[in-house]
A and B are shown apart, each in its own frame.
Chain A
């Protein structure tokens, strides 16, 4: 597709289970971001991938959270031993980086996670 694709769009899980959220960025976009948005809250930065550089993991809230980006394209955000406070919408965004680009982000529709 032409846009950023995220799956699943909705995920309900039980406390203590692991979940994986997937992001398929726009083809050719070298930068990829994960954000968390709790109900009525702003964007909480989680992790930033830029090309082949080491990812910026400074926003990951605990060691239960991890993310990888395979082949510079698809990214997976994994939450281990989910807790109720992990319930939120997880947003992915990508952008193209070059001298001619401005860093504009393109967002997916998000994955809504509910932990019971």
Chain B
């Protein structure tokens, strides 16, 4: 069965510092991987997705993630944090569009001025 782990339920970074949110998955086949973001009092929206076209994926708001098969990881990064990046971030995996999407527990990102 597929699963997703996100190391660190809460991450705090200073404004302008590197953001690194960790995601590891288990899947028996090359998966589709996603990062979703939930800003305060809003629904979830897609940040970026990996679909096997390229291992380094760029998303909205300056975020990117790198698929590393050997490490079964899909960590999310941003070079310089902004106050507006404070949100809940969820990593998700699925084998195909016909299979159920499995979400990780989420990481709450705080940005300190």
Chain A complexes with chain B: yes
Contact residues on A (Cβ < 8 Å of other chain), bracket = 20 to 34
CA distance in complex: A42, B88 (Å): 9
A48: interface (CB < 8 Å): yes
- Interface flags for B90-107 (1: CB within 8 Å of A; 0: not) read 101010111111011110
Asked if B101 and A107 make an inter-chain contact with CB atoms under 8 angstroms apart, the answer reads no
Residues on B lying within 8 angstroms of A by beta carbon are 32, 34, 36, 42-46, 49, 51, 88, 90, 92, 94, 96-101, 103-106
Q: Which of A31, A45, A102 contacts B32 (CB 8 A)?
A: A102
Interface class of chain A by DSSP = loop
Asked if B103 and A101 make an inter-chain contact with CB atoms under 8 angstroms apart, the answer reads no
Residues of A within 8 A of B32 (CB): 102-103
Residues on A lying within 8 angstroms of B by beta carbon are 31, 33, 42-43, 45, 48, 50, 56, 91, 93, 95-99, 101-105, 107-110
Further 11 A-B residue pairs, CB within 8 A, beyond A33-B101, A95-B101, A107-B45: A42-B90, A42-B103, A42-B105, A42-B106, A45-B103, A96-B97, A97-B97, A102-B32, A103-B101, A104-B34, A108-B43
B104: nearest residue on chain A (CB-CB)? A42
Given known contacts A42-B106, A91-B43, A50 and B98 CB-to-CB distance under 8 angstroms:
yes
Asked if A102 and B49 make an inter-chain contact with CB atoms under 8 angstroms apart, the answer reads yes
Residues of B within 8 A of A48 (CB): 100
